[in-house]
Structure 1
Amino acid sequence: MKAPPTRKKRKIPRSATPAMWKMASGLLWVLAFLQFGSYFNQDVVLGERYKEMGLLWRIFHLHMLSFVTRMKYYGAWSLTDGACTLSGIGYKGLDPKTGKPNWDRLINIRPMGVEFAQNSHAYLGNWNMNTNHWLRNYMYLRVTPKGKKPGFRASMATFVTSAFWHGFYPGYYLTFVLASFIQNVAKNSRRLLRPFFLTPNGKPLPRKRYYDLATWLITQLTFSFCTAPFILPSIHDSLLVWSRVYFYCPVGVALCSLFLASPGKAWLTKKAKAHAGAKPQLGRSDSTESLRGTTLGVPSEPGREFDEMVDEIMVEVKKRRGSRAGPEGVELRRRVEATLQEKTGGVGKEL
């Protein structure tokens, strides 16, 4: 694959054009925030007029308050991403599919990924991405016992840590603790319901479009409710706004949690397995259900990451040894894998 033209002794391609595009998108988000912020803000949902609106209008205003608040973050992070791109530190190498330069090394937000997310995994995975990477690597995975999959306790510990990192406003803890319950319910509900909208070989049925629409709407309205205390960090204001929409999110989460703890879960699981027949091997799509690259710090292609690490080690070894011969890349990989298998009891084979 031929690299794009660069100046003499320049190690990365020219970055002015992609940086300007990111700057333009950031400025558009900032302008949108300034425009809509006067219509959807804290004063509206805390005012007396808000109580006189119908329930659907109140939910709509709460959602728009969350959306407009996100606009300023979209703007700020897009501008900083553009600055990183312009300086060159945002260069991630060539895209293996298109062969074009990839400038997403330090990207922190994917606005469309958040706004069109159909589940909590996609919503959270596209928001504050670099912080999510750190939380997954140093909290979510570390508090999980060896040999077990992360569960509710790992999610709760991660969200509480995130709340503590943000500060000591009580609203932060309301948001992140509720989010841990939401993520647990969403993950289990998706496993139980999604198979009914797929064929046994994993292909979407015609009715899956309604499932996608419903999950998108539920995801957006759920997180609009959940993040309200983050915008209104005091306990009084947060509970006041929640009460004005009748606590629809905690009520829904509680009902779903009760169902998941009841015999109904086993019954629905049996129905889902009967519908699917043999367990299908589902492929990943480019929709909002699956995220590109890493999700909360885990690489999508660990084998390729390992090969790149071996190549870097080889370069460093040759520099240190000078002209002395050393093992080639394939041989070095074989030796490393053999060592990993001895120390981890075969886990290294997965690489």
Structure 2
Amino acid sequence: FYFPAFLIGPSLTFTEYMALIDETLYKDVAPASPNSSKRVPVGRKRVAYQKLAFGISCIGFYALYGGKFNYTVTADDWWMAKPFWYRFLYTQIVGVVQRIRYYGAWSLTEGGCIFTGLGFNGFDKDGSTLWDKAANIDVMNIEFAPNVKVLLDNWNINTNTWLRNSVYKRLAPPGKKPGALVTMYTFMTSAIWHGIYPGYYLTFFLGGLVSSAARQVRTYIRPFFLPALLPPKSKVLPPPTLIKRVYDVLGTVACLVIINYMAAPFMLLELRPSIKAWTTLLWYGHVTVLGWLILGQAGGFRWLGKLVKARAEKAASKEAMKVHMEMEERENKLASGMMTPSTSGGTLVVPPFDVAMKGMEEAGDALMQGFANSGHLKKT
């Protein structure tokens, strides 16, 4: 029985737990002293207390404001009396406040894991100990995620890792990448794991649609904000251009707006309050996600794909023309003696100084002779 990870998480494997028990988890750590066999790395208590402080702060914040900023307000009469823009903005605040209690709970459990020694995750490049093995959240990458994938990868991290390895990858057809159906199966597995309340299934079903829609946005919209010659699925980090930063900011806003809408049934649990909450928000999440997917399947994705391809071909043509002009310029310089072939690899290089001067003198003599022949210069 391991209390720090009981029920609330984080999800850890049995082998990791046994590695803690027999201390093979610290096999790369030097003993604390020559006369001691203990290999517990340094920094454990410091990091654990930091997690404790952060967790208590989050719980305290939620205790102060969680009652006021709650999804249950969607059932109140005053809520419907407000204009839509007010309800929309209020929902964004509610979503953040409600997430904070999870930040608090998971930070406390992570601190418990670290305090027992289970959170050890090796060393960084500077040799300092890492204690993020039991991390279940990355708050900054949740609240400021540039896309849905980043957000989901940093929420309930260990459970999502288990779902990805045990469900998502196993359901993928052999030799093919997992599709939208596999994504939906994975989200519904998570819903079953959470419990039997209808709100879980409403949230995770929409989550599957959101994940699929976000993947299509990344494929067909993101390339327009990147260099044209960079492949859409390239793993190369794109340059931080202004337009790319605009895309990331818009992505962050879109993520939060959709997630705060999607989370309402997860918090309300029951079917009727969940449907009412979405109704008061005019179903904006469903309209956005389903509208994008339907338009895409109706030919929008094919059209956008052609635009992306045409943009890349145009950029490639310009690049080829640029290279061609550079080659012509080099050939002209070679023909005029301003450049000579390199003996090392055939690359055109600037000629030696004496050769260049001789060429310039010959060109000057020829120019003067031309002027003399044309009568522009008089003999003295």
Which TM-score applies when normalising by structure 1?
0.75
Contact preservation (8 Å) 2:147, 2:248: no
1:84-103 correspondence runs (5 A) = 84-95=113-124, 97-103=125-131
Contact preservation (8 Å) 1:195, 1:272: yes
1:233 aligns with 2:269: yes
1:78 aligns with 2:107: yes
Contact preservation (8 Å) 2:71, 2:277: no
Look up the match of 1:19.
Answer: 48
Q: 1:252 aligns with which of 281, 288, 292?
A: 288
Contact preservation (8 Å) 2:88, 2:281: yes
Look up the match of 1:218.
Answer: 254
Provide the alpha-carbon RMSD of the alignment.
Answer: 2.0
Contact preservation (8 Å) 2:79, 2:87: yes
Contact preservation (8 Å) 2:71, 2:264: no
Give the whole-Å Cα distance in 1 for the aligned partners of 2:80 and 2:29. Answer: 60
Greater Rg over alpha carbons, structure: 2
Look up the match of 1:264.
Answer: 300
Classify the secondary structure of the residue corresponding to 1:12: coil
Look up the match of 1:6.
Answer: 32
Give the whole-Å Cα distance in 2 for the aligned partners of 1:115 and 1:107. Answer: 16
1:117-136 correspondence runs (5 A) = 117-136=145-164
Give the whole-Å Cα distance in 2 for the aligned partners of 1:124 and 1:279. Answer: 34
Q: 1:41 aligns with which of 70, 75, 87?
A: 70
Q: 2:222 aligns with which of 187, 194, 197?
A: 194
1:117, distance to aligned residue in structure 2 (A) = 1.1
1:184, distance to aligned residue in structure 2 (A) = 0.3
Classify the secondary structure of the residue corresponding to 1:98: coil
Query: What are the Cα deviations for residues 276-331 of structure 1, in whole angstroms up to 9, with x where unaligned?
Result: 44999xxxxxxxxxxxxxxxxxxxxxxxxxxxxxxxxxxxxxxxxxxxxxxxxxxx
Change (3 A) 1:82 1:110: same
Give the whole-Å Cα distance in 2 for the aligned partners of 1:78 and 1:33. Answer: 14
1:44-193 correspondence runs (5 A) = 44-95=73-124, 97-193=125-221
Contact preservation (8 Å) 2:74, 2:276: no
1:47, distance to aligned residue in structure 2 (A) = 0.7
- Per chain length, whose mean CA-contact separation is higher, i.e. which structure has more relative contact order (CA < 8 Å, sep 6+)? 1
Contact preservation (8 Å) 1:36, 1:68: yes
Give the whole-Å Cα distance in 1 for the aligned partners of 2:221 and 2:40. Answer: 46
Contact preservation (8 Å) 1:109, 1:126: yes
Give the whole-Å Cα distance in 2 for the aligned partners of 1:138 and 1:197. Answer: 34
Query: What are the Cα deviations for residues 61-102 of structure 1, in whole angstroms up to 9, with x where unaligned?
Result: 22222221211111011011111111111111112x232101
Structure 2 portions without partners, runs of 5+? 1-27, 231-237, 317-380
Give the whole-Å Cα distance in 2 for the aligned partners of 1:277 and 1:77. Answer: 48
**What amino acid is aligned across from residue 90 of structure 1 in structure 2?**
G
Query: What are the Cα deviations for residues 202-254 of structure 1, in whole angstroms up to 9, with x where unaligned?
Result: 42432222211111111101011111100011111011010111000111111
Look up the match of 1:341.
Answer: none
Change (3 A) 1:134 1:279: farther
Give the whole-Å Cα distance in 2 for the aligned partners of 1:86 and 1:16. Answer: 6
1:3, distance to aligned residue in structure 2 (A) = 6.7
**Residues 121-130 or 257-266, more deviating:** 257-266
Give the whole-Å Cα distance in 2 for the aligned partners of 1:74 and 1:172. Answer: 19
Give the whole-Å Cα distance in 2 for the aligned partners of 1:179 and 1:99. Answer: 39
Give the whole-Å Cα distance in 1 for the aligned partners of 2:30 and 2:53. Answer: 24
Give the whole-Å Cα distance in 2 for the aligned partners of 1:275 and 1:6. Answer: 60
Point out 4+ residue stretches in structure 1 off by more than 6 angstroms. Answer: 2-5
Classify the secondary structure of the residue corresponding to 1:196: helix
Give the whole-Å Cα distance in 1 for the aligned partners of 2:83 and 2:295. Answer: 30
Contact preservation (8 Å) 2:29, 2:39: no
Contact preservation (8 Å) 1:92, 1:103: yes
1:6, distance to aligned residue in structure 2 (A) = 3.3
**What amino acid is aligned across from residue 260 of structure 1 in structure 2?**
G
**What amino acid is aligned across from residue 71 of structure 1 in structure 2?**
I
Give the whole-Å Cα distance in 2 for the aligned partners of 1:168 and 1:279. Answer: 53
**What amino acid is aligned across from residue 17 of structure 1 in structure 2?**
R
Give the whole-Å Cα distance in 1 for the aligned partners of 2:96 and 2:314. Answer: 41
Structure 1 portions without partners, runs of 5+? 281-351
Of all paired residues, the percent bearing the same amino acid is 37
**What amino acid is aligned across from residue 47 of structure 1 in structure 2?**
D
| Aligned length, in residue pairs | 278
Contact preservation (8 Å) 2:138, 2:155: yes
Contact preservation (8 Å) 1:273, 1:279: no
Query: What are the Cα deviations for residues 181-214 of structure 1, in whole angstroms up to 9, with x where unaligned?
Result: 1100111111111111111344243222221111
**What amino acid is aligned across from residue 99 of structure 1 in structure 2?**
G
Give the whole-Å Cα distance in 2 for the aligned partners of 1:253 and 1:157. Answer: 18
**What amino acid is aligned across from residue 47 of structure 2 in structure 1?**
P
Change (3 A) 1:102 1:4: farther
